[in-house]
Amino acid sequence: MTRSIDLTRRGALAAGISLAFFGGGAYAAAGDKKLVVFIQRGGADGLSVSPPIGDRNYRPLRGEIAIPDDQALKLDGDFALHPKLTSIYALAQKGQARIAPAVAIPNNQRSHFEAQDVLESGVTQVYGSTSGWLNRTLTAMSGRKFEGMSIGNQAPLILRGPVQAASWSPGPVSRGERLPMILTDLYHNDAVLSRAFASGLETEAMAMTAGATMQSGGARQVAAQGPAAGNAQARQLGTSVAGFMMQPGGPQLVAVSIDGWDTHANQGGVDGTLAGRLAYLDSVVDGLQKGLGAEWNNTIALVVTEFGRTSRINGTRGTDHGNASTAIVMGGTLKPGGIIGDWPTLADGKLNQGRDLASTLDVRGLFKGALSQHLGLDKRQLDTVVFPDSAAIAPATGIA
Amino acid sequence: MALPDNDTMAAIAVTRFGLGARPGEIDAAKGDPRGWLKSQITAGPADQPPGDLPDSAHRVVANHDAMAERMASRSRPAASTSPGLAPSPMMAGGDAGGLQEEFMARAQLAAGASASFRERWVMFWANHFTVSAAKGEMRPLPGPFEREAIRPRVFGRFENLALASSRHPGMLFYLDQAQSVGPDSLMARSPAKDAVSIDGAKMGLNENFARELLELHTVGIAAGYRQADVTELARALTGWSVGGVQEGGQAGRYMFRPTAHEPGERAVMGKRYRDTGETQAVSIMVDLAGHPATARRIARKLAIHFVSDDPSPVLIGELEKAFTASNGDLGQVAGALIDADEAWAPQAVKFKTPYEFIISAHRALGVAPANAGAIIQPLAGMGQSAFAAPSPKGWPEEAANWASPDGLIKRLNWAEDFAQQVSGGSREPIRIAQETLGARLGPATGAAILAAESRPEALAILLMSPEFQRR
């Protein structure tokens, strides 16, 4: 992304001139490796995301929220995907989606806020870093002109840090040209405001050519309008994200937050609260994947959460905060293979503290695997800059 | 630490401690900036939003009835199998659960309040004890929760505020406490006999509220409690519930269900508590509220909210001392905040949240929010949907979160619209800027306002200026 403010485009939009596909530069980003990280905030129930249908303890533990065998989308004899994950399942059948069924952050204490902090900061010490690991990836990639962008109106920790990342959410576009120039002057002595504002203006200009056309007030609000409208909006959101990534100077590293996974009560099975969130996620992924077109072959998308949930259904037909959960790894040129990491099983003696799925893979190992094999980051950068003091955590192998 | 000059202190009192200046307010504070703030600390309840708003029980029951009617009119089986232990799902369209009405009343109070430090103090505690409509079925409750549990007690003892929060239907529903049942309680052992059994399903413990009570409302995770402490507190809390719609006068109100209470002694953070039924959890909460870790956490959160995302240890120490010495008297803590020189640093480093931004813009131009949509839509776009904090942790405080590229663009777009619609009377824009920012108005912003080519542009510059965006 250029660092100057492109007021011409802003002005052109004000005049109602469409700049979509205005030149041959639309595919200038082709060939760049891209990474999208979806964060499921609230602790997604991995045992529902990818039901371990071959584990004989799954159904007894899960009771009424277990996914029936005839409705689970079977990956193999051991694992399936939730019935609402139809697009991701279609990718899996082409070898373009795999699961890591027992991933966890280090030192999980079952607090949403601490766990999200560790997941995004990439350090083991809670509140131990004010920058996120995707931001430090931008630092590590310096010289290769990588850009980061978060989707949503708040800046997530994963992309906060020394490098200014862009951010975007759907909404109306403003008209004026003078005001941005005047404010750029006034923000001159305020480092935080000046760099955020400059980035915002660039993204706004880019949104026009990226076809990022979603209006109104955000995913949560849209989701409240009902599942069908919500899923159409979700698909449009995914398409818009792809639109940005296809722009010249568009972002190669993107973080998308999806809320609503904290299912303590009445979480449902094939249908219900959790199923609705999974349908939403599936639609965003579908929009993104189709929007990227051929660039899907240069993209890896990860779906991760701060922790999984208790393996046993609780007293209010939901699940409480647990440990390991499922991560989903997708991409056009994913290496074929089964699950990433091992399956610890749900046997009595194997559960973490007798209640949660145990972890077989440190989430940093998954991230490191993607960053090394897909983006080509070297071991020294991964072990010291991106995930400090993590030399003991081996990258997951065989991803890309 | 040296204090700024008196005029700057007056501007800080109104814009940093308060919700932003209304015309003439900074002048009024110049006589005695600290006294102007302290006069807002009251032994009695804080201000209530205007209008005759129904209480939480009425909100819950009305929402349930509206929902049942709607279901019936669709000739589906009505929601009669549900005893109403949870508020009904929101309705599509209209003002489901009265959320907009509640939010609008609260915004009108904030935009017009003369005691705006007191109102900010309320906002802090409402956010500390977050009850959020981000859970759809919660729409009837965040407004009444704030009015009934928070506002009457914000300058009283922390312990009483925490207890009131914990026994309000809003909190009990939001954190799934209302339906938590002791695994060995009478109710769990014979669910069919109990009128409030949930669809005949197996009932049991839900530890959501217990965990957040420890982690967010009181001691914090640094206090070193374990999973076993969370579970034990959850067991002690069983029975704290809300009346269902078939329970007559109890409907939608706090009630203790003895048959749901887990029998037995409990141990939390190394201390044992006899089974005294309903008061077993009260005893635990009293100890949690008085724990040194709670004093430290509250002190730090207050310093972050009022002064800096990275507050000085001296300031935290003074607030902690006031909290401990007064046994959690929040009026004393507010006084200590005003007395602390560190709270008056001349540099404004706090970045307003979207709600603070929009409310202070209305105050600057001396107008009330025109209608609910005019504030609810833009707030959603800026990432702060009405009464819908993303998690029990509440809205974040840090500039790193709110001063995002997208966040600033959304503010710019709204400021342009708002400045087109609202003239601010006949005052010259530079005069409005002087009244809004006082001694905090810098020369560059003043010059830009004078050089503006239209009144709306001048006002938009004021609203988007770094001095106005920060406090």
Quick one: average pLDDT of B347-364? Answer: 97
**Confidence category of residue A31, pLDDT binned at 50, 70, 90:** low
Is the residue at A198 inside a domain? no
The CA distance from B331 to B322, in Å, is: 10
Checking if the pLDDT of B47 tops 50, the result is yes
Which of A61, A150, A183, A305 should one mutate to test binding to chain B, selecting the residue with the greatest count of B CBs within 10 A? A183
Per-residue pLDDT, averaged over B311-321, amounts to 98
Partner-chain residue, chosen from B227, B400, B410, that has the shortest CB–CB distance to A155? B400
Report the amino acid identity of residue A39.
I
First to last CA, chain B: 19
User: Mutating which of B99, B404, B457, B459 best tests the A interface, going by the most A Cβ atoms within 10 A?
Assistant: B404
CA of B205, closest CA in chain A: separation in Å?
Answer: 5
- Residue labelled with tokens 């004010």: A130
Evaluate whether residue A241 is within a structural domain.
yes
User: Residue A330: pLDDT band by 50, 70, 90 thresholds?
Assistant: very high
- A227 pLDDT more than 70: no
Q: Comparing B35 with B203, which gets the higher pLDDT?
A: B35
pLDDT of B136: 66
ipTM of the complex: 0.91
Q: Tell me whether residue A274 is in a domain.
A: yes
| Cβ within 8 Å of residue B87, ≥6 positions away | B60, B63, B64, B97, B137, B138, B139, B140, B141, B173
Backbone angles phi, psi at B29, to 5 degrees: -85, -10
B20 closest CA partner among B357, B464, B402, B379: B357
Segment B255-306, tens digit of pLDDT:
999 999 999 999 999 999 999 999 999 999 999 999 999 999 999 999 999 9
Per-residue confidence (pLDDT) for residue B74, from 0 to 100: 58
- Of A150, A42, A323, A111, nearest to B135 (Cα)? A42
* Model confidence pLDDT, tens digit, residues B404-447: 999 999 999 999 999 988 877 788 999 999 999 999 999 999 99
Tell me which of A186, A220, A323 to substitute to probe the interface with B (most B C-beta atoms closer than 10 Å). Answer: A186
Bridge partner list, B266: B273
Instruction: Give yes or no for a contact between B96 and B133, defined as CB atoms under 8 angstroms apart.
Output: no
Interface A-B, measured as beta-carbon pairs within 8 A, has a size of: 188
Instruction: Give the span between the Cα atoms of A380 and B271, in whole angstroms.
Output: 48
Each residue's pLDDT tens digit, B64-75: 888 788 777 654
Contact B381/A201, CB-based, under 8 Å?
A: no
pLDDT of B146-188, one tens digit each? 999 999 999 999 999 999 999 999 999 999 999 999 999 999 8
Question: Using 50, 70 and 90 to split pLDDT, how confident is the model at A155?
Answer: confident
Residues of B in contact with A175 (CB under 8 A): 416
Helices and strands, counts by H and E, chain B? 24, 4
The separation between CA A24 and the C-alpha centre of its own chain, rounded to angstroms, equals: 30
The reported pLDDT for the residue numbered A213 is: 53
- Tens of pLDDT along A81-120? 999 999 999 999 999 999 999 999 998 889 988 899 999 9
Buried b (16+ CB within 10 A) or exposed e, A30-56: eebbbbbbbbbbbbbbbbbbbbbbebe
- State how far the alpha carbon of B339 is from the alpha carbons of A208, B18, B142, in Å: 51, 15, 32
In this model, does residue B197 exceed pLDDT 90?
no
Using the structure block, give the residue that is written with the tokens 């610890």: A344
pLDDT at B207: 94
CA distance B465 to A202: 20
Q: Is the pLDDT of residue A223 over 90?
A: no
Residue type for B194, please?
Answer: D
Q: Do B385 and A166 touch (CB under 8 A)?
A: no
Per-residue b or e along B215-242, where b marks 16 or more CB atoms closer than 10 Å to that residue's CB: bbbbbbbebebebebbbbbbbbbbbbbb
Higher pLDDT, B336 or B246: B336
What are the tens digits of pLDDT across the range A127-142? 889 899 999 999 898 7
**pLDDT for residue B124:** 98
pLDDT at B191 over 60: no
- A4 has pLDDT over 50: no
Answer whether residue A343 shows pLDDT above 90. yes
Q: Is the model's pLDDT at A17 over the cut of 80? A: no
Residue B193 has pLDDT above 70, yes or no: no
Distance from CA of B119 to the nearest CA of A (A): 25
- Tell me the residue range of the domain where A292 lies: 35-173+215-386
Q: Is residue A350 in some structural domain?
A: yes
Tell me whether residue A312 is in a domain: yes
- Nearest-Cα residue of chain A relative to residue B181: A315
Which residues of chain B neighbour A166 with C-beta distances below 8 Å?
405
Is B405's CB within 8 Å of A199's CB?
A: yes
Instruction: Give how many domains chain A has, as a whole number.
Output: 1
Sheet holding A325-331, edge to edge: A166-168, A148-151, A253-258, A34-40, A299-305, A325-331, A97-104, A361-362
Contact (CB<8Å) B412/A111: no
Looking at every residue in chain B, the average pLDDT score rounds to 91
In a domain? residue A15: no
User: What is the three-class DSSP state of A309?
Assistant: strand
Q: Is residue A375 part of a domain?
A: yes
Q: What are phi and psi of B340, to 5 degrees?
A: -70, 120
pLDDT band at A212 (very low <50, low <70, confident <90, very high): low
- Percent of chain A topping pLDDT 70: 86
Model confidence band, residue B38 (pLDDT cutoffs 50, 70, 90): very high
Give the Å distances, CA to CA, from B210 to A216, B133, B401. 37, 20, 28
Residue A153 lies in a domain: yes
**Mean pLDDT computed over every residue of chain A:** 86
Q: What is the CATH number of the domain that holds A286?
A: 3.40.720
Q: Binning pLDDT at 50, 70 and 90, where does residue B88 land?
A: very low
Residue A284: which pLDDT band, with cuts at 50, 70 and 90? Answer: very high
* Confidence (pLDDT) at B66: 83
pLDDT at B77: 39
So what's the pLDDT on residue B148? 98
